[in-house]
Amino acid sequence: PFTNDFPQADIHQLLPFDLLHQLIKGAFKDHLVDWVVKYLRITHDRRYVVSLINFKLMALSYNTRIAAVASFPGLCRFHEGHDFRQWTGNDSKALMKVFILAIEGHIPQDMVCVFHTLLEFCFLIWRNIITEDTMNQIQDALTQFHHYHQIFETSGTAPHFSLPCQHSMTHYVDMIQLLAAPNRLCSSIT
């Protein structure tokens, strides 16, 4: 990288975190959600060999579960399911609130745990005030995330898990200690 000639420069300190693009749209929407859909396709092909119609019904059931979420203050309703032409950061954040309920029972429990630990990590990071206890909780959530995410590799859904969005999560604790709570550095509020 361009920092090779600058021995005192740490690229991870030069590029601050961005909750919207690294966690919400990156780790959650562009990777984990897509990998779950891919996993459903892979497992369906193995189990039902020819039946593309059944996969569409399974996907319809998944969309129906997302669309059927009851009205509740603070929850967005996805009347069309998860099929959007254009996703916004707010759409992705709203999907984060209902996605586990939609996939529960359709995928292995370890995949559900990956989503749970990522959401735990995100909700801890979004706090306005982060204490030492919160920092320990963030580190625990990150450790659990890295423990459970291997299910995507072993299932053949993701060839590797060394993506920048997931790697950036390992630097959040250090960056919070340097720069304070990251809610001030999130492009979703600009």
Mean per-residue pLDDT of the chain: 71
> What's the pLDDT score for residue 70?
58
| Contact yes or no for 113/32 (Cβ under 8 A) | no
Q: Residue 61 region, left (φ>0) first, then alpha (ψ -120 to 50), else beta?
A: alpha
| Contact yes or no for 29/163 (Cβ under 8 A) | no
Q: Which long-range contacts (CB under 8 A, 24 or more apart) does 51-56 make?
A: none
The structure tokens listed for 73 are 């203050």
Q: What is the pLDDT of residues 63-78, one digit of tens each?
A: 555 555 555 555 554 5
Whole-prediction pTM: 0.69
> What's the pLDDT score for residue 60?
44
Q: What is the pLDDT of residues 16-27, one digit of tens each?
A: 666 666 777 777
Phi, psi dihedral angles at 170 (to 5 degrees): -70, -15
Q: CA 136, 126, 26, 74: dihedral to nearest 10 degrees?
A: 130
How far apart are alpha carbons 37 and 45 in whole angstroms?
12
Q: What is the pLDDT of residues 81-138, one digit of tens each?
A: 445 565 666 666 677 777 777 777 778 899 999 989 988 988 888 888 889 999 999 9
How many CA atoms lie within 13 Å of 4's alpha carbon, on the beta-carbon side? Answer: 2
Q: What is the pLDDT of residues 2-57, one digit of tens each?
A: 667 776 666 666 666 666 667 777 777 777 888 887 887 777 655 442 333 333 33
Phi, psi dihedral angles at 69 (to 5 degrees): -60, 130
- Angle formed by the axes of helices 132-148 and 109-125, to 10°? 150
Dihedral of alpha carbons 140, 143, 146, 151, sign = negative
Separation in Å, CA 137 to CA 7, 26, 32, 120, 130: 33, 22, 22, 9, 10
pLDDT above 60 for 184 = no
